Amino acid sequence: MKYLIAGLGNIGNEYRDTRHNIGFDITDALAKEAGASFFTERFADYALVKHKGRQVHLIKPTTYMNLSGAAVRYWLQKLDIDKSNLLVLVDDLALPFGTIRIRAKGSDGGHNGLKHITEMLTTDQYPRLRFGIGNTFGKGRQIDYVLGKWNDQEQKQLPELIKKSCEATLSFTTVGLERTMNLFNK
């Protein structure tokens, strides 16, 4: 069984450790735990992880967030993986900080990365793990908040939350979407 895990974020040091890059952070943690290394190939940084007899292909699109769909479509086709075995890891303003929601499908919720993936795949019928980043920002400050660094309190909680997100991702590859949703959507 083959799976594609697409952690969304923006490339470049100025975006490192920002709320918008939580997808990259989770994907990095998955690779690190497995002792895998990323290398840059077409549209993405790519790593292969073996987990319980499964091939778990990790990508971090190098197309910037708003064009993530090009990388996701390319890698699904290149690896011949069905959309049902795709999991997109993404930040979500609508969820409280640290909340994880796994869904089989859905709208982009105003998220430009999901919007582009939906356009490129011509469907919103693909699994995603939404990681809540909260929405504690003033009027007109959304972009600064999303592209901002985690505060001290969030920073302390992040390692455990990333670990939980990794567990949910690997659960998706072993016990399936429905059971993973039951286990992690609390």
Please give the biggest Cα pair distance in the chain: 48
Q: 3-class DSSP state for residue 155?
A: helix
Contacts of 171 (CB under 8 A, 6+ apart): 179, 180, 183, 184
Q: Report residue 110: phi and psi, to 5°.
A: 85, 5
Q: Which sequence positions are flagged as catalytic?
A: 20
With a CB cutoff of 8 Å and minimum separation 6, the contacts of 52 are 173, 174
Beta strand 86-92 pairing with 54-61: unpaired
Q: Which two tokens stand for residue 16?
A: 């490192």
Q: Can you tell me the distance from the alpha carbon of 112 to that of 33, in angstroms, rounded to the nearest whole number?
A: 29
Alpha-carbon distance of 24 to 10, in angstroms, equals 8
Helix (H, G, I), strand (E, B) or coil at 64: coil
Q: How far apart are CA 147 and CA 145, in angstroms?
A: 6
